[in-house]
Structure 1
Amino acid sequence: MSVKLGIIGGGVMAEAILSRLITAKVYSTYEISVSEPLSQRRDFLQQKYRIRVAFDNKAAAASEVLLLAIKPQALEAVVSELGALQEKPSLVISILAGVPLSRLESAFPDKPVIRAMPNTPATVGAGITAIAPGKKVENHHLSLARSIFEAVGQVVEVSESLMDAVTGLSGSGPAYVAIAIEALADGGVAAGLPRAVAFQLALQTVLGTATLIQESQLHPAELKDRVTSPGGTTIAGVAQLERAGFRSALIEAVQAATRRSQELGRS
């Protein structure tokens, strides 16, 4: 096969993945084929990345690796369209939220299938992707999947039973962090800071703290203890966060998103 990676669906996450793969030279432009129903989106992808782009899903499916990047409700239609395809991929990778391996393996019998959950920071190469292997997946399939998703960030392997929790935490987590940054900036404005300065302070504080924890390997609780001095400003703020249930709110948000992912998987 001349096409090494076929992607069905040309949305934001698909573009993030193919862009980073090309930049990291994991694949060359001529080795990638994308199918996308919207003509405007097809034109954009072809002009920007110089890859093969088509309306027909069969063009992307005739590849060594097939990445499904469509809406979950479109899966049945896509599978039906590919039913008569003679040349089929050696590995199928799905980033469809809530779609279990059992359903994917039924759609692609006799093929190794990997279920993956990337998150939106993948668009800047700072994402994290959880992958769950199907029954027919071997080590070289996992290595191939890792090479694809390592182009957009870190990769962890989990059992499929944990994928809903992954969705609730890292899949939905960027929204929680964005709300926290927005709220910190609003707090700064309420305390008298100009909006632009408050936003810059909030954003860099979150980014810098995450970088510090990552590079120092400090436990978050230890970093918090280092910042809070007796009778100081930080402990006053932390006490207010505890009174407002900030910690519980985040825990419950992850649990709620996990439950919703489970519901979507059953629908």
Structure 2
Amino acid sequence: MSKIEKIALIGGGHMGGALAAAWLRGGKRAKVAAENLIVVDPSPGETIQALAEKHDFTISEALSLEQAERADLVVLAIKVQAADTVAAHLNQVMRDDTALLSTIAGVSLNRLALAFGDRPIMRAIPNTASEIGAGVTVCVANEAGDALEAEITRLLKGAGSVEWVHDERLIGAVGAVSGAGPAYVFLLAEALAGAGVAEGLPRDLAERLARETIVGAGALLASSKKSPQELRRAVTPVGGTTQAALDVLMGGGGGLPELVRQAVAAAERRSRQLAANSGNGGRER
């Protein structure tokens, strides 16, 4: 297909704001001009409102027929509970050949096809670091074709790295690892700072140390060719203080690795529950 230029972003919450920020900031190939971005949200978040003021674009309450006619791609960045209502309106205004990209957790390609008909449909699982271009997004598509997948990859690279899977059953695990992953890291920073305070550090110093330690460790992980396991072993002298701490984190019924496994499994199960409930209007059964 030809190059995607005009995008209708439905949803100006946290993820919609992160994607819009990435596109407006993006490099030469991934950048989307403000005049080519249509944002729709009756109650937009702070990030998207700030972007609208900075880049001088309007946020609409609903996608108009004229806006829909000009859109090459419609991106759904809404909550699963709003999917049915939004789909009912979009089907009245979207062109039959407009591609659809959904970031809605738990709503399958099949459910999207039932709601939006025979058109190129893709799902994307981004994460919150997309806002600063350091995210990772994993995508899956129906019969979208290589050219469209390449266009979506180009656009999403403004938000960070992009991966594709060809089995939608993997998407739940993707969301549990990379989609929810930043929250796990933030919790670690919170817990690490709290532990420092418990040992007598001033709160502001403990929070700075926790933040910078995680930022630095992440940068080292990104720049190194070594695996996380190799890096951990390299900074853990036998019998030292780090070893004493890791004995606690890795002991007692599996320790932190087992807790993380259980957390990811719980998130993946929730993804499957949402997928099942999306056929019931997004309501819990």
Q: Normalising by structure 2, what TM-score? A: 0.86
Question: What is the aligned counterpart of 2:269 among 259, 263, 266?
Answer: 259
Q: Distance in 1 between matches of 2:224 and 2:112?
A: 40
Q: Distance in 2 between matches of 1:258 and 1:37?
A: 30
Q: Distance in 1 between matches of 2:211 and 2:40?
A: 36
Question: What is the aligned counterpart of 1:148 among 143, 155, 168?
Answer: 155
| Contact 1:8–1:36, Cα closer than 8 Å, also in 2 | yes
Q: Distance in 1 between matches of 2:245 and 2:106?
A: 38
Q: Distance in 1 between matches of 2:92 and 2:15?
A: 28
| 1:29 matched residue in structure 2 | 34
Shift of 1:48: 3.1
Shift of 1:61: 3.4
Q: Distance in 2 between matches of 1:61 and 1:253?
A: 40
Shift of 1:89: 5.1
| 1:139 matched residue in structure 2 | 146
Q: Distance in 1 between matches of 2:249 and 2:45?
A: 47
Structure 2 letter corresponding to 1:57: L
Question: What is the aligned counterpart of 2:15 among 8, 13, 20?
Answer: 13
| 1:58 matched residue in structure 2 | 64
Q: Distance in 2 between matches of 1:237 and 1:170?
A: 26
Which is further off, 152-161 or 3-12? 3-12
| Contact 1:61–1:88, Cα closer than 8 Å, also in 2 | no
**2:204 aligned with 1:189:** no
Shift of 1:40: 8.5
**Deviations 1:153-189, CA, capped at 9 Å, x for gaps:** 1111112110100111111111111111111111212
Structure 2 letter corresponding to 1:56: A
Shift of 1:27: 1.4
- What is the SS of the residue equivalent to 2:207? helix
| Contact 1:61–1:89, Cα closer than 8 Å, also in 2 | no
| Larger RCO (CA within 8 A; separation ≥ 6) | 2
* Structure 2 counterparts to residues 1-267 of structure 1, below 5 A: 4-24=6-26, 26-38=31-43, 46-58=52-64, 60-62=67-69, 63-85=71-93, 87-88=95-96, 90-134=98-142, 136-158=143-165, 159-244=167-252, 245-267=255-277
| Contact 1:32–1:52, Cα closer than 8 Å, also in 2 | no
Q: Normalising by structure 1, what TM-score? A: 0.92
RMSD, aligned CA? 2.2
- What is the SS of the residue equivalent to 2:93? coil
Of all paired residues, the percent bearing the same amino acid is 35
Q: Distance in 1 between matches of 2:94 and 2:181?
A: 40
Using a 3 Å threshold, how does the CA distance of structure 1 residues 50 and 73 change in structure 2: closer, same or farther?
same
Q: Distance in 1 between matches of 2:90 and 2:200?
A: 59
**Deviations 1:37-93, CA, capped at 9 Å, x for gaps:** 137878655323322422222355330011011111211112211233263453110
Using a 3 Å threshold, how does the CA distance of structure 1 residues 165 and 40 change in structure 2: closer, same or farther?
closer
Q: Distance in 1 between matches of 2:134 and 2:105?
A: 20
Q: Distance in 1 between matches of 2:49 and 2:256?
A: 45
| Contact 2:79–2:104, Cα closer than 8 Å, also in 1 | yes
Shift of 1:237: 0.9
Structure 1 letter corresponding to 2:35: Y
